[in-house]
Amino acid sequence: MDLPELPPRMFTLGEEPDAIRSISYHSDDTKLFKALCDCLTADEYDDLKASKLRVFIKFKELDFGWTSRLVHFLLCFQLDIKKKFELWSLVVSQPVRFSLIEFEHLTGLNCDYIKDLENPRCEVTSEMAAFWEKMRVDIDTGPSIEQITEAFYNCDEWSPDDRMRLGYLAIYAGYIEGKKFSSATSASLARLVMDLEKFENYPWGRVAFKVLMDSLKAKDLTQTGYTVDGFIQVLQVWAYYAMPELGANYGSPIPNRPSPLLLAYRGGKRQRKCFKAAINKQVLNFTPKTSQTT
């Protein structure tokens, strides 16, 4: 069956920008998660690992191998679509979609709709002010990766709840926002940590997806190197899932495919010069309805 007419490519076939330099990112900060492991007790670490944000802790334990060349080529195979929060790549003349649906499927995170997603109402209380003071963070800003890392080494005498708050903030700053280590996080979202149950149940998947897509859509892919905010590693796992042969050959798949799919691959340790050709030989795992591209 003939495919409907597709939107144009962002780059002419065969003239896509080469992957001269690696895509840089800020998520999965090594110093931050070393501090988390050094300073939390085994029980506190296990509590984080059992929480609804556990996928990030388990992903960290995989020691995932980032392969920017693969992700770069998928970005360069994009179709010029109108939707702000979808990404479509043309692989072997078939479109493959990355949207909130795929993000939720891959990560298992809560991606429910919520009004005022990025600006939840959270009253500034004396308890909050005291906690921010412990972290040495201005009450009007959210803590940076750098500040959270330093706070871990000063939290020995903190209450169990405050130490758990610090663990949650490490996940939030280190993976969900994934910005430069010295950049403040969103204050309104970081303040949710004062209510541990509310924080854990917040639709962080939707937040993480939006951070990533806002950053990706703003990038100039013709530059020799660029940096992406947010949890960009999920795009590599998306590639492995969408192209099973490539995932099997280069993704270091884990036996019995753990759930969610984000944990099913260890990634590739080496940059592969043949990725562009390998992508063009794939049989896709799924092909969404092309009518949705516009």
What local confidence, expressed as pLDDT, does residue 289 receive? Answer: 41
pLDDT in tens, 205-242: 999 999 999 999 999 998 888 999 999 999 999 999 99
pLDDT in tens, 85-108: 999 998 877 889 999 999 999 999
Residue 58 sits in the same domain as residue 168:
yes
Q: 13 and 105: one domain?
A: yes
Higher-pLDDT residue of 63, 288? 63
Quote the pLDDT of residue 273.
Answer: 60
88, β-bridge pairs? 97
* Residue at a domain's end among 202, 236, 253: 202
Tell me: do 57 and 124 sit in the same domain.
yes
**Where is average pLDDT lowest: 44-48, 97-101, 269-273?**
269-273
Shared-domain flag, residues 232 and 147 = no
pLDDT at 293 over 70: no
Helix, strand or coil, per DSSP, at residue 24: strand
In a domain, 135, yes or no: yes
Q: Are residues 36 and 140 in the same domain?
A: yes
Same domain, 231 and 290: yes
User: What rounded mean pLDDT belongs to the chain?
Assistant: 90
Residues 71 and 153 in one domain: no
Per-residue pLDDT band for 283 (boundaries 50, 70, 90) equals: low
Residue 101 lies in a domain: yes
- My answer on whether 142 and 275 are in the same domain is no
Instruction: Say if residue 254 is in the same domain as residue 183.
Output: no
In-domain check, residue 212: no
The β-bridge partners of 87 are 98
CA 106/CA 237 separation, integer angstroms = 8
- Residue 228 has what pLDDT? 95
Quick one: tokens of 54?
């556990």
Q: Where does the pLDDT of residue 270 fall: very low under 50, low under 70, confident under 90, or very high at 90 and above?
A: low
pLDDT of residue 204: 98
Structural domain including 284 reads 1-23+64-113+221-294
Nearest of 81, 96, 39 to residue 246 by alpha carbon: 96
Shared domain for 179 and 59, answered yes or no, is: yes
100 and 52 assigned to the same domain: no
Any domain includes 209:
no
* pLDDT confidence of residue 12: 84
Q: Per-residue pLDDT tens for 163-204? A: 999 999 999 999 999 999 999 999 999 999 999 999 999 999
- Residue at 278 is within a domain: yes
- For the chain, strand residue ranges (E) read 24-25, 87-91, 94-98, 227-228
* Percent with pLDDT over 70 in the chain: 90
273: closest CA among 252, 250, 248? 250
Domain contains 215: no
**Count of domains forming the chain:** 2
